[in-house]
Amino acid sequence: MAEVVLFHHVQGLTQGVQDFAAELRGASHTVHVPDLYEGHTFGTLEEGLAYAKKTGFGIVGERGIAAAEALGDALVYAGFSMGVMPAQQLAQTRAGAKGALFFHSCLPVEEFGAWPAGVPVQVHGMEGDPMFADEGDLDAARELVGSVEEAELFLYPGKEHLFADSSLRSYDQAATELLTRRVLDFLDRIN
C-alpha cells in the first residue's frame, strides 16, 4: 500500500480534508496530514488567504517541506489547492517520490525544474473553476500531462474550487466520489 503526505488548502486542515485522508486510510493506505496552519482553520477562502499572506507563503511551504522530511522518502505527495505547492515541489525535487496527486491546482513544471522520470501524477479540477481554469493551473496541468508519460488530467463538470472538501459549501459529492475512485486506483498501482 502507498504512503501519502496530503497537504491542506488555504482554509486550513478542515474536517473535509481529514475525512478525505480517512477515506484513503480506509483503503489501507498510510496518510499523513500535516497542519501547515498550526491549528487555524477559516470559513472562507479570503480569510484563509489573508492568514497565509500574513504568515508568509514561504513559511507555510517550509512547514510542508519540513513535515515531509521527517518521514521516509518513498512517498506520494498530494495537495489540495495551496497544498499543491509543497506537494509539487517535493514530488519534483525530493528523491524517492512514488507519485503525485494535485487537487484544484497545478503549477508550471519549470517552477521546480524538470519532472522526475518514473513519477506518475494525477491532476483533478473542475472545468469551470475560475481559479483552476482561468489562472493558469489548467494550462500547467495540460502541459504536465503532455510531457510526462504517466500523467492524467481529470476535469469534472462544475465551477467549484474546493469541491472535494466535504466540510465546505463548495463540496460536490458526485465529483468527489469519482475523484476518490480514481485516486484509489492510482494509489493501488504504486509499488
The mean pLDDT value for 22-47 works out to 96
pLDDT tops 80 at residue 105 = yes
pLDDT tops 90 at residue 138 = yes
pLDDT tops 90 at residue 44 = yes
pLDDT tops 80 at residue 191 = no
pLDDT at 46: 94
Cβ neighbours for 36, distance < 8 A, ≥ 6 positions apart: 7, 8, 13, 60, 63, 64, 67, 83, 86
Q: What's the rounded Cα separation, in Å, for the pair 122 and 28?
A: 20
pTM of the model: 0.96
Domain residues for the domain of 157 are 3-188
pLDDT at 143: 96
Cβ neighbours for 18, distance < 8 A, ≥ 6 positions apart: 33
* Average model confidence (pLDDT) across the chain: 96
pLDDT at 42: 96
pLDDT for 142-181, tens place per residue?
Answer: 999 999 999 999 999 999 999 999 999 999 999 999 999 9
As to burial, measured by CB atoms within 10 angstroms (0-12 exposed, 13-18 middle, 19+ buried), residue 69 is: exposed
pLDDT tops 80 at residue 58 = yes
pLDDT at 140: 97
pLDDT at 27: 96
pLDDT for 59-82, tens place per residue?
Answer: 999 999 999 998 988 999 999 999
pLDDT for 19-32, tens place per residue?
Answer: 999 999 999 999 99
Q: How many domains does the chain have?
A: 1
C-alpha cell at 56: 508568509
CATH number at residue 140: 3.40.50.1820
The mean pLDDT value for 118-142 works out to 97
Phi, psi of 22 (to 5 degrees): -65, -35
> Percent of the chain at pLDDT above 70?
100
